[in-house]
Amino acid sequence: MGEDGLPRPEPLLRSTAQRPANRFVFTHTSQQGATAMRREELTEKILDIKREKGWSWRQITDEIGGMSPVLVVGALLGQMKLVKPLAKKAAALFGLSPAEERMLNEVPYRGTPMPPTDPLVYRFYELVMVNGPAWKALIEEEFGDGIMSAIDFDMQIERLPNAKGDRVKITMSGKFLPYKYYGNEQGILEYGVKEA
């Protein structure tokens, strides 16, 4: 605490794993004055309100709108940012303060510790570890030397009815980004596109 009774943020830490805990927003309460809120605390507040109101993610994303439900939920869980008009809608829906609304508009420190411990998230990690080499070989054979963007990207999640148990269908589409072969000489490809 400082001399004025307000909490003081800790200095930025060198470990990137510790940095998310250092993102503060100050909120005002009538009894205590200003208190610091971290981004993960805002996420918990949003989840508490969601539980209290009995809202589904579909109801929330339909109300906020504006972009893919995956991105809206990701932002409310602290992994994405909401553009200003959508942060305003989310703040109105959840009854958030102006400072909390601004926090929803900040670019977050993304990611979670690896390997994941949640069973559902771990299955995706396992899926990549097991199938990643085949995906890499097939994508490179079709497109060339590069990557699939996870930024110029979209994803849909669907439920497929099945007599043996409903199935989860996830469709991902990302722009192919070829590696740049810098320092290339005359007649040598500049980018890692598929060669004829």
Orientation angle between helical segments 69-76 and 84-94, nearest 10 degrees: 60
Query: Per CATH, which fold does 119-178 belong to?
Result: Cyanate Lyase; Chain: A, domain 2 (3.30.1160)
Instruction: Give dist(CA 96, CA 82) in Å, integer.
Output: 14
Find, among 157, 160, 139, the residue nearest to 148 by Cα: 139
Q: What would the DSSP string read from start to end of 13-41?
A: PS-TTTGGGG-EEEEEETTTEEEEEEHHH
pLDDT the model gives residue 184: 84
Positions marked catalytic: 123, 126, 149
pLDDT the model gives residue 182: 86
pLDDT the model gives residue 143: 95
pLDDT the model gives residue 113: 85
pLDDT the model gives residue 37: 79
Instruction: Give dist(CA 160, CA 133) in Å, integer.
Output: 27
pLDDT the model gives residue 26: 42
Structure tokens belonging to residue 192: 């890692």
Residue 97, amino acid: S
How far CA 166 is from CA of 159, 162, 163, in Å, comes to 7, 5, 7
Domain 19-104 has CATH 3.10.450.50: no
pLDDT the model gives residue 72: 96
**19-104 matches 119-178 in fold:** no
Instruction: Give dist(CA 23, CA 78) in Å, integer.
Output: 12
What's this model's pTM, rounded to 2 decimal places?
0.73
In contact, 70 and 57? CB cutoff 8 Å: no
Instruction: Find the Cα–Cα–Cα–Cα dihedral 67, 74, 96, 18, rounded to 10°.
Output: -140
Orientation angle between helical segments 39-53 and 84-94, nearest 10 degrees: 50
DSSP lists the bridge partners of residue 1 as: none
pLDDT digit of tens for each residue in the chain (196 aa)?
A: 455 555 444 433 333 333 344 344 444 444 454 556 789 999 999 999 999 999 999 999 999 999 999 999 999 999 999 999 999 999 999 999 999 999 999 999 898 888 999 999 999 999 999 999 999 999 999 999 999 999 999 999 999 999 999 999 999 999 999 999 988 888 889 999 988 8
- 147-152 long-range CB contacts below 8 Å, 24 or more apart? 147/176, 147/177, 147/179, 148/172, 148/174, 148/175, 148/176, 148/177, 149/174, 149/175, 149/176, 149/177, 150/174, 152/177
| Domain spans of the chain, in order of start | 19-104, 119-178
Tokens 């998310």 identify what position?
Answer: 20
